[in-house]
Chain A
Amino acid sequence: MNIDEIFDFTSFTIDREPHIVLDPQVCVSCDNRSCTNCCPARCYTWSGEEQKMTFVHDGCLECGTCYVVCHKNAFTRWRYPRGGFGVAYRMT
């Protein structure tokens, strides 16, 4: 089974507005950045070159992992998407 494909099999209704917002300064000073390996949807990417954390809300499974593993509380916002938006499981 191909990793890159696994994320394409979940449906989403994407909101313009992200439901999770990071304070980029906090991520720069983080000694751990476990969000990047723990997130099951590969939403967090750290660029060493740019010293920047990128979070993409489109593919977020709303699982809660980042909220639990981030010990720096880097979130200026962490809420669930507005009603009707976000991940839409069909079966599972």
Chain B
Amino acid sequence: MNRTYQAIVVGAGPAGSSAALTMARAGLDVALVERGTFPGEKNMFGGVLHRLPSLEEVFPDFWERAPLERHIVKKSVTFMTGDSSFNTIIEAGSFDRPPYNGYTIFRPRFDRWLAEEAVKAGATLITRATVDDLVWKNDRVAGVSILDRGEISAPVVVAADGVLSFIAKKAGLRQPTFDPGQMAVGVKALIDMPRELIDERFGLVRDQGFANEFVGCTGGVRGGGFLYTNYDSVSVGLVFHLASLKTSNKTPYDLLNEFLEQPQVAKMVRGGRLLEYSAHVIPEGGYDMIPELVGDGILVAGDAAALCNATGLNLEGINLASQSGVLAGKAVVAAHGLGDLSRKGLEVYQRLMNDSYVMKDLKLYRKAPHMLHNDRIYNEYPELMTSFMEYIYRIEGAPKENLTKLFLKSAKEKVGLGNLMADAFSAWRSL
């Protein structure tokens, strides 16, 4: 160890590798430090990578080059209650043509590829290296220390060390403790399934993929479910708000098992074989949770900066991480050009971020995390939805009721009309 670089990036995830790639392409001597035996070994997410404009700029043939699974052409939202469910599906022709709107991927393959691209551009990848502290010089960050392996130096460090970012904490940029109300945990089962079976079961051809999100499937805990198709496996999982899970006395794996046994889900995974089980925390606090992004000799990007957009309809993270990494990289390049890597010199990162869709979207959906802290979304509404649809389609030989009247009646019983209006208003204001 004990080398000096022009920049150090902690964490070879989508944010870190995007930052390292950007800096290396601009000619900087950059170290990309990763605690796994290879980049991606520690990384977990639901399964759908949204379109990455940041990387399409770097790789115009991104979807030819990156190790992607299927592109998503069909998206479905399912409202679930007990043994009933109500589905909405959108399948769009434009989703089936490049630039594709989203793909399923495996993180151990994708993250590894992206880090290798950074290495090809000239970055030095240091794996099996857990950074445990920052090195300071004259009140400025001057490097990092690696557990059992000594120190490396650089006038600037990009903290892309994930959601718990101990680096941002040590730099005094993030809050010292986390609020469970701003955090979620995702658990996932990867299930092996032959490609032909997936194509047939989900109505797909070629490399087409299907993404299904679920509400009302988390045993009363605030959260949701997902099912995504890879080439020859499906990713099925649940996400829980931690404040809600904390008081529920339920466990993530029991709820995942219940979800997999729900009759409609059970049919989708039938015949599959479990390949891998994984879990990770997600920063879901939105705009209000974002730490300070810039310090003296340090920038924060990706999950470490809580850049995650959970609106209830979409859950975006990797695209925001990668974009922030690219912008952090550009800011470091500019600051090096000016020879000023102080907070003032690096401030350009904040400006680039404010002008990008990352901060604009997070600001726009600033109220969404609060709206999603409404238990009715996870219990009463899915129930209202499925029971109403069930009534519409059921033939019983008795005269039907007026549907508007009936809807209002069951809404009154299940939710309360005041709540219904308040929730509609809050959803309208948030989204």
**Chain A residues near B164 (CB-CB < 8 A):** 64, 67
Task: Flag if B279 contacts A65 (CB, 8 Å).
Answer: yes
**Chain B residues near A48 (CB-CB < 8 A):** none
CB distance from B103 to the nearest CB of A (A): 15
CA distance A87 to B41 in the complex (A): 8
**Chain B residues near A9 (CB-CB < 8 A):** 274-277
Decide: A69 near B148, CB < 8 A? Known: A41-B279, A92-B106: no
Decide: A61 near B278, CB < 8 A? Known: A40-B253, A42-B251: yes
CB distance from A65 to the nearest CB of B (A): 5
**Chain A residues near B40 (CB-CB < 8 A):** 89
Please, what's the 1-or-0 string for B233-245, where 1 marks a CB less than 8 Å from any CB in chain A?
1010000001001
What count of chain B residues pass the 8 Å CB interface test? 58
B130 at the interface (CB under 8 A from A): yes
CB distance from A60 to the nearest CB of B (A): 10
Decide: A1 near B257, CB < 8 A? Known: A61-B279, A89-B278: yes
**Chain B residues near A61 (CB-CB < 8 A):** 44, 278-280
**Chain A residues near B23 (CB-CB < 8 A):** none
B129 at the interface (CB under 8 A from A): yes
With beta carbons under 8 angstroms apart, the residue of B36, B108, B132, B281 that contacts A65 is B281
What count of chain A residues pass the 8 Å CB interface test? 38
**Chain A residues near B274 (CB-CB < 8 A):** 1, 5-6, 9
Task: Flag if A62 contacts B42 (CB, 8 Å).
Answer: yes
B430 at the interface (CB under 8 A from A): no
- Find the A residue at minimum CB distance from B182: A68
Q: CB within 8 Å of A: which of B248-281?
A: 248-254, 256-257, 260-261, 274-281
Task: Flag if B42 contacts A32 (CB, 8 Å).
Answer: no
Task: Flag if B183 contacts A68 (CB, 8 Å).
Answer: yes
Task: Flag if A68 contacts B180 (CB, 8 Å).
Answer: yes
B49 at the interface (CB under 8 A from A): no
| 14 more CB-based (< 8 A) A-B contacts, given A10-B278, A40-B185 | A6-B274, A7-B253, A32-B246, A34-B246, A38-B252, A63-B44, A64-B281, A79-B130, A79-B132, A81-B130, A83-B147, A88-B37, A92-B107, A92-B276
